[in-house]
Each structure stands twice: as structure tokens, then as C-alpha cells.
Structure 1
Amino acid sequence: MPLLRDPALADDGARKIEFAHRRMPVLAGLTERWAAEKPLRGARIAACLHVTTETANLCRALVAGGAEVALCASNPLSTKDDVAAAIQRDLGAEVFAVRGCDRETYYQQVKGALDIEPTLIVDDGADLTATVHEQRPELLPAIIGGTEITSTGVIRMRNMAADAALRYPVLPTNDALTKHLFDNRYGTGQNTIDGILRATNILLAGATVVVAGYGWCGRGVAARARGMGADVVVTEVDPVRALEAKLDGLRVLPMHRAAAEADVVITTTGNRDVVTVEHMRLMKDGALIGNSGHFDLEIAVDDLTSTATSRRYLRDNCVEYTLPEGHRILLLAEGRLLGQAAAEAHPAEVMDMTFATQALAVRYLVERAGELEPAVHPIPKEIENEVAVAKLAAYDITIDELTPRQHEYLTSWQFGT
């Protein structure tokens, strides 16, 4: 049985899904073709994703392709309950997703999706993958492969492969250029700033914003904060990325120094304990802390809760903690994925490319069932190119093509000075 907040919310969700659908032309075109071709006929897909309007349109494509789909939430605060109800009612997927659920219910949702006895896994954060390997190993022989959409999940799956624990091939959607160059940079950049503003309504112009991590997500957040007039400071553990931030015109400091200057701290690292209570003790009274990484481990929330002398709800997704020294720290969205929990998730225009890449990766696994070894395999270049070409066409953009003479030059070594 599906697990929903309220099936009566479906009408609201359906309108929002249609609004996103209009802004996802690549995925819409794929859906139309697949409705005739049925390339996924017979596949059973368990998907663990943020339950948003964009995800709804991915479900539409997969079902149109002939797959049976069960969807569960990949984060307790990213589910849109009206969208979940509309997917269940209108789009042919069974949904297990309730916003704001506790940990026990979260994993009840994951297990509900696995009850479909999947042949394919579509994951965001690798919770579904880890659960099927650790708790439902009897399902593994039927699974021909999986995909993973986020940086944190790809790290987990590569670690599983290194430990010889991964039992089926995985395509890391996050590594595709058509995903991370756009989704991570422009999507995370925009919705993180959106989440900060919805949760606090602060003025970013003139504020010191510390961005922990300068990968593609960190780049996006830093660029948008800077564009709104903030003084942006980057913290990093990677020397090359730190140099990139410096040459991009940003200040680079270790966290213990950056924390003392911060009005806002945003974590985008995919690692844990990036902001500790020791860092918080150095911060200004009223400093804001938020996380744009997938899991709620980047900020030491449990330590903050146990150390604080009081806790006070200020606004939606904004809770004030008072430390023993007397100064206050404002935690956004419980330290969870800020752009999903406090804002509207990634814009449909970038998720169009991400989910088209994801859908084509699923088709690739179906077409090559039994051919790929259990490992993390790169997304084929032809999938990236197919998505990019379709997106350019949607923007009515044409580009140059190599002449035969240029192609000959680029594929030879004889031409020199």
C-alpha cells in the first residue's frame, strides 16, 4: 500500500507537476518517444529520490517507457506532499513519501519501494542501495543495475565497490557533465540562496557568507551569494580547489578563522563535522548555519543540541540555539538539505537535463543487462551528447560542426610547426 500524507492534495500537486513539465522539454520528448517504443517494458524500478515536481516528470517518463515504478523519498524534508499524492493518483507510480517523517518511517518508505522486487535501482544518496545490500540481499540476483544521482551517493557506491560489496553495476548520473555542470552549480546555487531567504529574509548584500567546499555545488552557492553583494569566503581541504577559489576572486580561509567573520555559513562538502560546536563558539551572535549537502552530518547538530542551554523556534526552518557563552546560533532546516527543505528544490530547467540523463542511463542498463560487471561505470559520452543536443534544440540554439579538414587535423599527429 502507498504511504502518503493526504491523497486529497493531488489536485494541487498535479498543477505544479504540469508547470514543471512545460519547462522540461528534453524529458518530455523522451517521454513521448518512449510511450511508443516501450524500451523499459518488463522493468521494475525502485526509486529513492526527492519527491518534487521534477521527479514526478521522471516517473512519467519511466512509466511511459513500460516500467513498473515504486518511489520513496530520499530525504525526510524534501518531499512535497501534494506532489506525492498526484504521482500516486495520476502518473502510474506507487509512492511512499511523507514530509517531515521520523527515521523509522523514512526507512519504512525505503522498504516499501523495495517490496516491488526491483530489477533496477534509481538512487539519490545510496540509502536504497545500502538497504537492499544489507537488509534485502534476496532481491540482489534480480537487479540488473542501478543509477546514483548525487555526489554523496556516488562516494558511498565507490566505497562499496572498493570493499567488494557492490553486487550490481551502477552508473553515476552525478558524474555526467549534463548533470553536475548544471544541476550542481546552477540548481544548488539558486535553491540554496532561495532557502536562506525563505527561512530568514535576511539581506545578503554586505553579509559575510562562508561556503564550505568549492566543488560544483560550492561554486554555485558562492557565485550566487557574490552576485547578491555578499563578501564570500571559501573553506577547503583540497589545495587545487582552494586555488581555484582564490583565482576566482574569493577569500580562502580555514574554518576556524572564517567562522569568526561569518554572518552565514553554508556547507557543500559531502563530508561530516564540517562545522563543529567549537566553530560555533567562535561565531557572531546570531550567525546562520545551513547545509546544502545530502546528509545532515555536515553540521554537528547533535553536539549543538546537547551543548545549547536553550532552543527556540523563530521561523519556519529557522531555530535559535543559545550556547553557554550566551551568544545565539540560528540553524536552518534542521541542518538538512537546505534548498530542498526550505525552498522549492532545483529549477525544472536544470532537472530536465539531470533526469533525461538518468532516464537514458536506465535504458542503457536495460539494453546491456548481464553485460556489465558489478562496479561503478562511467556514464557513456553518447548519453551526455544526446541530452545536450536536445537541450540546445529546446533553446533554439545551433552550433558549428567540424569540417572534414578540421576533423582530420584533430585526429592526426603529423601536422606540426
Structure 2
Amino acid sequence: MTNSTNMQNNTVSIPHDVRDLSLAAQGKRRIEWAEMDMPVLRSIRSRFEREKPLRGVTIAACLHVTTETANLAITLKAAGAEVYLCASNPLSTQDDVAAALVAEYGIPTFAIKGEDHSTYYRHIHSVLDARPTITMDDGADTVGVIHSERTELIPNIIGGTEETTTGVIRLRAMAAEGVLAYPIIAVNDAATKHLFDNRYGTGQSTIDGIIRATNRLLAGTRFVVAGYGWCGRGVAMRARGAGAQVIVTEVDPVRALEAVMDGYSVMPMLEAAKVGDIFCTLTGDTHVLRREHFEVMKDGAILANSGHFNVEIDIPALEEMAVSRRTVRDFVEEFTMPDGRRLFLLGEGRLINLAAAEGHPAAVMDMSFANQALCAEYMVRHGHELGKAVHAVPSDIDAQIARLKLESMGYQIDALTPEQKEYLSSWKLGT
């Protein structure tokens, strides 16, 4: 860990571990560019600066260290919080942003793009050393470390927030087993998060990452989307928009039926594996693409993941099957099978939209991080009233964010008249 660094005659003396502080000026410019497209968070920050609702709070945030996340961290600091930030994925960090957060904004940051497994967890422990009162997660890794290795921190924690579907699944499993030690708000499940971030953000940024990594034309390809949740819907929609023939694989009959009704081909993965050109997993589960699928894939098949963890593609099986392996482009590894077929793995099987591209556009993260900021404020005010469970984002927060977003886009909507309110609340006013 670096604790003090001289930079342009200024001394950075806050705890940090980043690649290169000389990248800070570049990172600051990019953070400011993203801020232009985050009007809801700007509005919240303006209020936070006046009211300081998070004064005295220490936040341990394990999130993707991007320009959009930087704007969230700056907003939380403006609210009076001490913010400590680490990466929630070894490949998602933007090194110039990490440098700027330390050198330009004074936010302790522990994140290096491409960091190894041990460094990743060392960075999580670094933010936990601050003894947080609130945790803020993207995948529940901080919560997992606290519950397994840092239980001494639990009495000091008011609660936490969780950004992803994968993290919410893990946290609900903990709650069901009775081991979750403090309340968590499932930011992911807010309508202004998953309906927009997961569908429009993941849809666009995943396609962006695949194209940046491969420079392949999508038109005319058979593009296999594994999982038809909100993220899968978004990727399928954007792939079809680019001219691909989209195939959806699912285990949920309702979602599979929805994909059929939306006009996609639906089949088991073993059948899709025989015909697909590009595969993208978005399930939150393990080994969605595995040995039996690799055995029948075409020469040149491209394998990508946009689920949170790099377990959706069975990489150990791919490594075991291959007779040779080499890097052919940035973020593209070629695995040659015994029969000469070549399978191409993108971004080490990690989130391709962050490994090879820049993640979600700022406009959509504006709503996601507005939820994070307002839920942190809510947790400070009401955390003591909440049980040790996973809680929904309060509906008034969701509605407030939607209203602010509409206003920032120049749209207005109607309001119910007193007569309409009475009609909706009464059982006596029928036909």
C-alpha cells in the first residue's frame, strides 16, 4: 500500500494503492465528462453539500472503479461521509480514475486494473480497516469477507447496500440461512436501477465490449444469449438491433416463453452450442458454458461473459481441453482444441463490458448511483429500525429518482386529480 506520494509539488498522504498517480489529471477530465450526463446525482449532491446527512459515517465501497462510480464517491463525500473505495472486479478499474480519486478528490482508493486474486482481497481488507458504518457492494464480496473473516466489524455497521443481481442472490441466501448480521438494501431491485441499468446499460455496454475486443461484425452472426433476465433482455435487444440472429437459452419456462414471444429463437444450450458464433452468459450462475458445449462448438466461436463473476464459463475445463493457448488480441485468448478448432475467450471470462470497454453509460448509472446515495442516507436514518434481512428500496426513493430524471430530460407528466385518487382508493365506486 502506498501512503504518501509527491505529485506536482503536492503531497498525497491518504491511504491508497493505485497504479500511477500521474494519471490523475486525465482521470479528472473523464470524471467531469461523465458528470455532465449525471444530472440526478448532481442534484442530490447539491442538497447533500448543504445538509451533510452522512456526517460521521464511514462507507466501505466495493464497486467498479469507473468515472461514474467516482461521481458517486464524490457525492457521498460531499454528504459528509468518509469514503473508502476498492474494486469489485479485478479487470473493471479505470486506472486514471483511481488516481484522480486519490490525488484530486482525496478519497482513499485501492484498485489496479488487472490486479491478482490476493491483491483484490487485500484491497477489500484495506477498506474494511477503516471500520465502516455502511457497506456498499457490487457482488457482496465485502459482506462475505466481513461475515467470514472480519466479524469484529459487525457491531459498528448500521447496514449496507447491494448493486447487483448476483449480490442480492447471495445476500438473500445468507438471510435465509439466518447468518446475515445486518440489514441490506437491494439497490439492484429498484425499478430505476434494474429496468434501466440492467437492460439499457448492460445491453449497450456488453455489445460495446465484445466489438472493442474483437472488431467483429455482428450482422449475420448467430448470437447466443444465456439467460433472459433484464441483462439478457438488453443484450438480446442490442444484438438484434446490430443485425444478429439471436438465440436465447433459459432454464425458467416463463422467461423462455417471453423470449419466444419477443421473437427470439429459444433452445437448450447444447443445441445452441452447435450453431452459435458468439456466446454471452448473463445468468449469475456457474458453468453455464462447459465441457459438453465446448466439444461441439464451431471453429472460431467467441465466448464472453457479462454476469458478475467469471464462473459462468468453465475456464478450468477449457484450459484442460486445450492443446495450446495464446493471446491474439488485447482481451482475446485463443484456446486450440485437439481437433484444431479454436475457441476465443474474451476478457478472462470476466465482465466484458468493463474488461474491454468502459461499462455502462453515465446517463443510466446516474439513476443507479442516485439510488445508492439516497439509500445510504435512508440507512443512516432508519437502519436501526430494519431487520437483519434484504430490504427493498423505499418506493418514494424510486419515484423521486424517476421524477428527477424526467425533469432533467425535459419531460413532464400528469398528476392524479382528487377525484381519481378517491376512485382508486375506494371499493364503493365501481361500474
TM class, shorter-length = over 0.9
> In the alignment, what sits opposite 1:237?
251
Letter in structure 1 aligned against 2:131: E
- Of residues 33, 39, 43, the one that matches 1:19 is 33
> In the alignment, what sits opposite 1:205?
219
> In the alignment, what sits opposite 2:144?
130
Whether the aligned pair in 1 keeps the contact of 2:159 and 2:182 (CA below 8 Å) is yes
- After superposition, what is the alpha-carbon deviation per residue over 1:161-186, rounded to whole angstroms, capped at 9, x for unaligned? 11111100000000000100000000
Q: Distance in 1 between matches of 2:388 and 2:191?
A: 23
> In the alignment, what sits opposite 1:186?
200
Q: Distance in 1 between matches of 2:342 and 2:313?
A: 16
1:310 aligned to 2:324? yes
Q: Distance in 2 between matches of 1:416 and 1:62?
A: 48
Aligned residues: 417
> In the alignment, what sits opposite 1:247?
261
- Of residues 140, 147, 153, the one that matches 2:167 is 153
- Of residues 16, 23, 33, the one that matches 1:9 is 23
Letter in structure 2 aligned against 1:67: A
- How far did residue 45 of structure 1 move? 0.3
Give matches, 1:328-347, under 5 Å: 328-347=342-361
Letter in structure 2 aligned against 1:132: I
Q: Distance in 2 between matches of 1:63 and 1:28?
A: 13
Q: Distance in 2 between matches of 1:131 and 1:271?
A: 20
Whether the aligned pair in 2 keeps the contact of 1:51 and 1:80 (CA below 8 Å) is yes
Letter in structure 2 aligned against 1:95: T
Q: Distance in 1 between matches of 2:105 and 2:168?
A: 28
Whether the aligned pair in 1 keeps the contact of 2:183 and 2:383 (CA below 8 Å) is no
1:65 aligned to 2:79? yes
- Of residues 266, 285, 290, the one that matches 2:299 is 285
Whether the aligned pair in 2 keeps the contact of 1:77 and 1:99 (CA below 8 Å) is yes
> In the alignment, what sits opposite 2:278?
264
Letter in structure 2 aligned against 1:311: R
- Of residues 271, 278, 287, the one that matches 1:273 is 287
Whether the aligned pair in 2 keeps the contact of 1:270 and 1:298 (CA below 8 Å) is yes
Give matches, 1:329-408, under 5 Å: 329-408=343-422
- After superposition, what is the alpha-carbon deviation per residue over 1:276-320, rounded to whole angstroms, capped at 9, x for unaligned? 021011111001010000000000011101210001211111111
Q: Distance in 2 between matches of 1:335 and 1:289?
A: 8
> In the alignment, what sits opposite 1:143?
157
- How far did residue 397 of structure 1 move? 0.3
Q: Distance in 1 between matches of 2:398 and 2:225?
A: 29
- After superposition, what is the alpha-carbon deviation per residue over 1:202-227, rounded to whole angstroms, capped at 9, x for unaligned? 11000000000000000000000000
> In the alignment, what sits opposite 2:8?
none
- Of residues 204, 216, 223, the one that matches 2:237 is 223
- After superposition, what is the alpha-carbon deviation per residue over 1:360-384, rounded to whole angstroms, capped at 9, x for unaligned? 0000000113211111111100010
Letter in structure 2 aligned against 1:40: L
Give matches, 1:49-128, under 5 Å: 49-128=63-142
Q: Distance in 2 between matches of 1:228 and 1:371?
A: 48
- Give the match's secondary structure for 2:384: coil
- Give the match's secondary structure for 1:132: helix
Return the TM-score normalized by structure 1: 0.99
- How far did residue 200 of structure 1 move? 0.5
Q: Distance in 2 between matches of 1:369 and 1:121?
A: 12
- How far did residue 274 of structure 1 move? 0.2
- Give the match's secondary structure for 1:377: strand
- How far did residue 415 of structure 1 move? 2.6
Whether the aligned pair in 2 keeps the contact of 1:319 and 1:330 (CA below 8 Å) is yes
> In the alignment, what sits opposite 2:185?
171
Whether the aligned pair in 2 keeps the contact of 1:357 and 1:384 (CA below 8 Å) is yes
- Give the match's secondary structure for 1:229: coil
Q: Distance in 1 between matches of 2:193 and 2:389?
A: 20
| Segment drifting more, 46-55 vs 398-407 | 398-407
Gaps of 5+ in 2: 1-14
Q: Distance in 1 between matches of 2:75 and 2:381?
A: 17
Whether the aligned pair in 1 keeps the contact of 2:274 and 2:298 (CA below 8 Å) is yes
Q: Distance in 2 between matches of 1:91 and 1:214?
A: 39
Q: Distance in 2 between matches of 1:416 and 1:283?
A: 59
Q: Distance in 1 between matches of 2:407 and 2:143?
A: 35
Q: Distance in 2 between matches of 1:146 and 1:223?
A: 33
Q: Distance in 2 between matches of 1:92 and 1:38?
A: 17
- Of residues 311, 325, 328, the one that matches 2:339 is 325
Whether the aligned pair in 2 keeps the contact of 1:189 and 1:224 (CA below 8 Å) is yes
Whether the aligned pair in 2 keeps the contact of 1:194 and 1:339 (CA below 8 Å) is yes
RMSD of aligned Cα (Å) = 0.7
Whether the aligned pair in 1 keeps the contact of 2:219 and 2:242 (CA below 8 Å) is yes
Whether the aligned pair in 2 keeps the contact of 1:291 and 1:336 (CA below 8 Å) is yes
- Give the match's secondary structure for 1:26: helix
- How far did residue 14 of structure 1 move? 0.3
- After superposition, what is the alpha-carbon deviation per residue over 1:208-258, rounded to whole angstroms, capped at 9, x for unaligned? 000000000000000000000000000000000000000000000000001
Whether the aligned pair in 2 keeps the contact of 1:157 and 1:376 (CA below 8 Å) is yes
Letter in structure 2 aligned against 1:120: I
Return the TM-score normalized by structure 2: 0.96
- How far did residue 325 of structure 1 move? 2.2
